[in-house]
A = this chain, B = another copy of it.
Amino acid sequence: MVGYERVPATERFADASLETVEAVLSEAAKMCEEVMAPLQRNGDLDPARLENGVVRTSEGFAEGYRAIAEGGWIAASAEEASGGMGLPLTVTTCVNEMMSGACLALQLNPLMTQGQIEALEHHASDELKALYLPKLVTGEWAGTMNLTEPQAGSDVGALSTKAVPNGDGTYAITGQKIYISWGDNDFTGNVCHLVLGRLPDAGPGTKGISLFLVPKFVPDENGEPGARNDLRVVSLEHKMGLHGSPTCVMSYEGATGWLVGAENDGMRAMFTMMNNARLGVGVQGIGVAEGAYQHALAYAEERKQGKSETGNILGHADVRRMLAEMKADVFAARSIGLMLAVALDMARATGDKSWAARAGVLTPIAKAFGTDTGIEVASKGVQVHGGMGYIEETGAAQYLRDVRVTSIYEGTNGIQAMDLVGRKLMDGGEAVFALIDSIQSYIEDVKGDIPELAEAAWQASENLRDATEALLAMDVADRFAGAVPYLKAFARVLGANAHLRVACAERNSATERLARFYILRMLPEHASLCAQARAGALVPAEDFAA
């Protein structure tokens, strides 16, 4: 459905046949089911806590982490030279989805490490790579990302952390960072922080930012954790959910750091890490959505209700409506995430710029739609449970509380949408129109099979093309005001394409009926979303004055 067969046809990923991938995924599934899923409630009931400056993690998380590391699931896509399996990102994406659905709080730890590995692979010196990558890939050490400061959230360029050269090639890092996911733990030998900072002579804004690797323990001559670095966890946040994941306020007090990439070129390296993480966070949403769906379906099957013809609440049309929306949207979001992963793998394997351009368009959509779907599906999961959904013991509410952050971190979904209609349209829409063309060309091929659905999907993609042209003609304020609905409309069209593909492959099945449900009931939303996208800003800031 997402054209994975092209990936093992490349030289780089020749070993990753569908057969191999299936074997890998069923191993990962086993670990998720047996080891991670039982930890989900622990993270909520026994939150990570700070004791005398040291983070203590939830009961069982250390063992769970060990199972992830031993299975090779920290970074299955890391290059073989770094000690990884060199598997396609598509495979890691599937594994990440399963891990997220099983225990999101714990999964966030290796996700951070994955991003760090990718940033180091691309931008670090050979010495840093040789020292850090093998330990990160095996999970012996963990990685974090340090961007945000109290005065610099979405506006990264406002950060003020200082990096002063020590004269020996290292830098003294001083500043405070907030919202640092898994800023510390009690189960890895070291915690390696990638920290954005500013050199003494650096210019203002994002162009004066450099990236540093700052380990909790400075490696000794054997590469083992040595002296304690001058950094500490100041406090942990009290969050709505994801209690098992310590969200740290970090203080760097002249900590020793090593430059990653060139001076003042930190944003480029950070973007490598962020793009990886954006797919990763989108997939967190999809994983939680799948978990919440399975959980709600199991409840609906088990919840008896005498009056219904099925004997359970599945006999209620509105319960089926909710479950069908959940299932159809999980499928749509997953297909978008995997399309992106395939595009990234193909870009890497072939160097073809059109794959990279496609990945650029799909990244904000996968992040925002994946996480919106996570929140929406988890909320419907609560609703399917009725009163039980509001009671914490059932776990339905935890999915919602945990996943709620995913539309915020790694760039809010508003930021993603602005990226899509801003930076990603700076080519005049070329990459977007190419994607729409490829969708339409597919629909042309199958329109004889299921004309009613194909026609609706084609018309929606044509409306998306029109909305894209309308946005291109707008000034930036109006375009940004329509960014979020435009992104959602785009996701609806991509989802319809995926549903159509599987419906054509499995005629007269539950699959086709779900595709029909999606295309006739959910796809029509794209029209009002396009109307919103095209309407412009309408309400100026001064109208909000009291």
**Which A residues contact B (CB, under 8 angstroms)?**
148, 151, 153-155, 157-158, 178-179, 237-241, 297, 300-301, 304-307, 310, 314-324, 327, 375, 379, 382-383, 386-387, 389-393, 397, 400-401, 404-405, 407-409, 412-414, 417-418, 477-478, 480-481, 483-484, 510, 513-514, 516-517, 520-522, 524-528, 531-532, 535, 537-544
Q: Is the CB of B483 within 8 A of A315?
A: no
A404 to B383, CA, bound (A): 9
A539 to B515, CA, bound (A): 10
Q: Quick one: which of B305, B397, B481 contacts A317, CB cutoff 8 A?
A: B481
Q: Is the CB of A238 within 8 A of B391?
A: yes
Smallest CB separation, A143 vs chain B (Å): 20
Q: Is the CB of B392 within 8 A of A484?
A: no
Q: Is the CB of B323 within 8 A of A544?
A: yes
Q: Which residues of B contact A510 (CB under 8 A)?
A: 539, 542-543
Q: Is the CB of B524 within 8 A of A401?
A: no
Q: Which residues of B contact A541 (CB under 8 A)?
A: 310, 314-315, 320
Do A521 and B535 contact each other (CB < 8 Å), given the known contacts A306-B155, A383-B414?
yes
Q: Which residues of B contact A540 (CB under 8 A)?
A: 320, 513
- Please, could you name 29 A-B residue pairs with CB atoms under 8 Å apart, sorted by A? A151-B304, A153-B386, A153-B387, A155-B305, A155-B306, A158-B305, A238-B392, A240-B382, A240-B401, A241-B390, A301-B544, A310-B541, A314-B541, A317-B537, A318-B480, A320-B537, A321-B537, A324-B538, A324-B539, A327-B544, A375-B379, A379-B404, A383-B412, A383-B413, A383-B414, A386-B412, A513-B540, A514-B543, A524-B531
- CB closest chain-B residue, reference A476: B317
A318 to B418, CA, bound (A): 8
Q: Is the CB of A531 within 8 A of B521?
A: yes
Q: Which residues of B contact A387 (CB under 8 A)?
A: 148, 153, 178-179, 408-409
Q: Which residues of B contact A414 (CB under 8 A)?
A: 316, 318-319, 322, 383
Q: Is the CB of A484 within 8 A of B321?
A: yes
- CB closest chain-B residue, reference A492: B528
Smallest CB separation, A197 vs chain B (Å): 19
Q: Is the CB of A320 within 8 A of B544?
A: yes
Smallest CB separation, A240 vs chain B (Å): 4
